[in-house]
Amino acid sequence: MGAPSPAATTTGTLDGRTVLVTGGGTGIGAAIARTFAGAGAVVTVAGRRPDPLADVAEGTDAITAATLDVTDEHAVTTLFADRGPFDIVVANAGAVESAPATRTSLDRWDRLIEVNLTGTFLTLREALRQPSTGWGRLLAIASTAGLVGYPYVAAYCAAKHGTVGLVRALAKEVAGSGVTVNAICPGYTDTPLVERSLDRITEATGRSTDDALAGLLQGNPTGRLVRPEEVAATALWLCGPGSDMVTGQAIAVDGGET
């Protein structure tokens, strides 16, 4: 038997909840938005590119789109003022670039820290500034790069390790308030971001796409990419019934890689 779709098994889980998903136009963010909408939530997807956001929102009244650069403090504040409050906030926006540390410019370092760590901080900080309702779920989509080191992505690893530390600190700050804060750490996931990474590898090395993918997956016991829907299912579990005591965690979704 094939696995049931998230919408088929989760209808009503999040009835009445309002959700913000940054980086919601593609990949993991889009899967989370659709899964949460299928579970009854009203979802805002935010990101820098309007067209992918519109594609995610098309055909459903449960998802609306908002253009947002998570590194712009004023823009983040304005979005919460205009569209909030949100019961659930998923800080998913991110980017990755690869280079040896010796060839990583300060500009590249700053850019990756700003998008992956500062953008997450601004999003979660604004979520915590909302009026308290006694219940809330804050999620940061980190990476296995926030749990272990990988070569040639030092800035990305540093940012994702910082994200895990941020989550653990915030969870302690709000413990007992009804708000939980957790990180999800996917391994290599079947998304446009990984597709671009494969393109860069093949261009730089001359290897085939299959060989490049095998290189990425050599440490994964399952031998395959994570599906975005699997990350979305974990996010839904962290926001659903019975999750109140799960906070300050960095949960790997990686097929046993870490």
Enzyme catalytic residues: 156
Tell me the C-alpha distance between 109 and 207, whole Å.
Answer: 27
Cα–Cα nearest to 21, from 81, 66, 52: 66
Tell me the C-alpha distance between 14 and 215, whole Å.
Answer: 39
Tell me the C-alpha distance between 64 and 113, whole Å.
Answer: 28
Give burial (CB, 10 Å; 0-12/13-18/19+) of 18: middle
Count other C-beta atoms under 10 Å from residue 194's C-beta.
18
Write out the two tokens for 97: 């670039």
Tell me the C-alpha distance between 108 and 42, whole Å.
Answer: 36
Instruction: Tell me the backbone φ, ψ of residue 20, rounded to 5 degrees.
Output: -115, 130
Distance of CA 227 to the CA centre of its chain: 13
Distance of CA 93 to the CA centre of its chain: 6
